[in-house]
A = this chain, B = another copy of it.
Amino acid sequence: MKARYDAIYREIRDSIEQGVYPYQSFLPSEAELTAAFSCSHNTIRRALGVLREQGYVQPVHGKGVRVIYQEPERTTFTVGGIESFHEADERIHLHAQTEVVTLEQVIATEKTAFRTGFEVGCELTLVKRVRRINGEALILDRNLFRTSSVPGITREVARTSIYAYAEKNLGVTIATSKRAITVERATGEDRTLLDLGDIDYLAVVTSQTFDSQGILIECTQSRHRPDHFCFRDTAVRQRL
Q: Please pick, from B60, B76, B82, B224, the residue contacting A212 in the complex, using a CB distance under 8 A.
A: B60
Cβ-based interface call for A123 (8 A): no
How far is A180 from B75 in the complex, measured between Cα atoms in Å?
13
Contacts of A61 in B (CB 8 A): 212
Encode contact with B along A214-227: 1 for CB under 8 Å, 0 otherwise.
10100000001010
Binary interface encoding of chain A residues 44-74 relative to chain B, with 1 for a CB under 8 A from any of its CBs, else 0:
0000001011010110110100111010000
Which range holds the interface residue count of chain A? Answer: 35 or more
Decide if A55 touches B182 in the complex (CB within 8 Å).
Answer: no
Q: Is there contact, CB below 8 Å, between A180 and B231? A: yes
- Interface flag for A85 (CB, 8 Å): no
Partner of A237 from B177, B232, B239 at Cβ < 8 Å: B177
Find residues 2-21 in chain A having any chain B CB closer than 8 Å to their own CB.
Answer: 3, 6
- Name which residue of chain B comes closest to A202, CB basis: B183
Residue numbers in B under 8 Å from A237 (CB-CB):
81-82, 174-177
Chain B residues whose C-beta falls within 8 Å of the C-beta of A53 in the assembled complex: 53
Question: What distance in Å separates the Cβ of A199 from its nearest Cβ neighbour in chain B?
Answer: 8
Contact (Cβ within 8 A) A58 B210: yes
B81:A235 contact, CB within 8 angstroms = yes
A117 within 8 A of B: yes
Q: Is the CB of A226 within 8 A of B182?
A: yes
Q: For the complex, is A200 an interface residue (Cβ under 8 Å from B)?
A: yes
Residue contact A178 to B234, C-beta cutoff 8 Å = yes
B238–A212 touching, CB < 8 Å: yes
Interface string of A153-183 (1 = CB under 8 A from B): 0000000000000000000011111111111
- Extra pairs beyond A3-B239, A176-B234, A181-B233 (10, CB < 8 Å): A24-B214, A60-B212, A63-B213, A82-B235, A177-B236, A178-B232, A182-B203, A183-B224, A200-B201, A201-B201
